[in-house]
Amino acid sequence: MNAAYPALRLRRTRASSWSRRLHAETVLTPADLIWPLFIVEGEGVEQPIASLPGVSRWSIDGIVARAREARALGIPCVALFPYTPAHLKTEDGREALNPDNLMCRATRAIKHAVPDLGVLTDVALDPYTTHGHDGLVDAAGYVLNDATADVLIGQALNQARAGADIVAPSDMMDGRIGMIRGALEGEGAHNVQIMSYAAKYASGFYGPFRDAVGSRGLLKGDKKTYQMDHANAEEALREVALDLAEGADSVMVKPGLPYLDIIVRVKQRFEVPVFAYQVSGEYAMLEASVAAGAGDRDALVIETLMAFKRAGCSGVLTYHAAHAARLLGA
């Protein structure tokens, strides 16, 4: 006979805190978090970002302090993004190739101060270009694929030489994962990982990030000729399949919460490490709802991060990383 009410009461295991903990199907720990950080030139500089309340750009000394904080909180990895001074931005984004650019200096400083903290660097040209696109544009403003990939290879090598542990191409050019892997192997950088932003959508949720890296006002047009159409899911699976075949160690889905269906499908299909980026607009939306009195920050932060774990993620990039790690460690 099938067990059914009243023999079976699913509320029974929920009736006390110890039992809820015992029956939890998913765990969230600080080790599931990657903390994105914005770097700015100078010393002792902290610049709050208005559209990302609670998040600042830090000069390298502040970035190192954040790295120590991450280490102390049990966060395994930080992700770095530079705010490039206007005079260093060019049409071709060549500052990305400078071995002494802000990213490389910050990477070296972190690896020196906190050697066992992972450093993930973003491979894309948008912080360095005068037009705000992730690659090289032709006269019509079209982002060129192969010419861009050539520069991205140089950028990834530049970051790896500075000590990056994971290079994360966020540009969505075709074929770049295989080319970057080949170039890293050619240098003997066998253990530098590639986390591919494999399914990255052309999204309205990136606005505050573009403020943070100073590309928002510069961006000509949109990124729809390279980032994915949010109507598509099968195409995300094709993107992931290609990046894995080219040598990606892990793949990312971005943005996060509006794309949980993609995360589930990628995880079920490929059984590889999947990461989500809970992006700037998601962070801002959550903070706005807290500011409006609509919800409790701590509860919302943990619930949203748990959703990524439940969907199958190995980890999440989130601006709430330090806050969440504090809550989880308490």
- Known catalytic residues are 200, 254
- Separation of alpha carbons 297 and 291, rounded Å: 9
Q: Which residues contact ligand PBG (rule: CB under 6 A)?
A: 122, 124, 126, 134, 170, 206, 209-210, 223, 279-280
- Please give the helix or strand (H or E) that residue 177 lies within, else none: helix 176-186
Instruction: Provide the minimum distance between the beta carbon of 296 and ligand PBG in the complex, in angstroms, as a whole number.
Output: 23
Instruction: Provide the minimum distance between the beta carbon of 320 and ligand PBG in the complex, in angstroms, as a whole number.
Output: 12
* Closer CB to ligand PBG, 126 or 239, in the complex: 126
- Please give the helix or strand (H or E) that residue 19 lies within, else none: helix 17-23
> Within 214-254, where are the H helices?
234-245
One-letter identity of residue 69: E
What DSSP string runs through 256-306?
A: SGGGHHHHHHHHHHH-S-EEEEE-HHHHHHHHHHHHTTSS-HHHHHHHHHH
What 8-state DSSP symbol labels residue 81?
A: E
* Closer CB to ligand PBG, 113 or 300, in the complex: 300
Number of residues written out for the chain: 330
* Closer CB to ligand PBG, 167 or 187, in the complex: 167
Q: At what angle do helices 60-73 and 102-113 cross, to 10 degrees?
A: 40
* Closer CB to ligand PBG, 7 or 283, in the complex: 283
- Separation of alpha carbons 118 and 71, rounded Å: 9
- Separation of alpha carbons 315 and 184, rounded Å: 24
* Closer CB to ligand PBG, 92 or 113, in the complex: 92
Instruction: Provide the minimum distance between the beta carbon of 234 and ligand PBG in the complex, in angstroms, as a whole number.
Output: 22
CA nearest neighbour of 169 among 132, 187, 196: 196
Instruction: Provide the minimum distance between the beta carbon of 3 and ligand PBG in the complex, in angstroms, as a whole number.
Output: 47
- Separation of alpha carbons 302 and 319, rounded Å: 13
Instruction: Provide the minimum distance between the beta carbon of 53 and ligand PBG in the complex, in angstroms, as a whole number.
Output: 14
Instruction: Provide the minimum distance between the beta carbon of 133 and ligand PBG in the complex, in angstroms, as a whole number.
Output: 9
* Closer CB to ligand PBG, 124 or 198, in the complex: 124
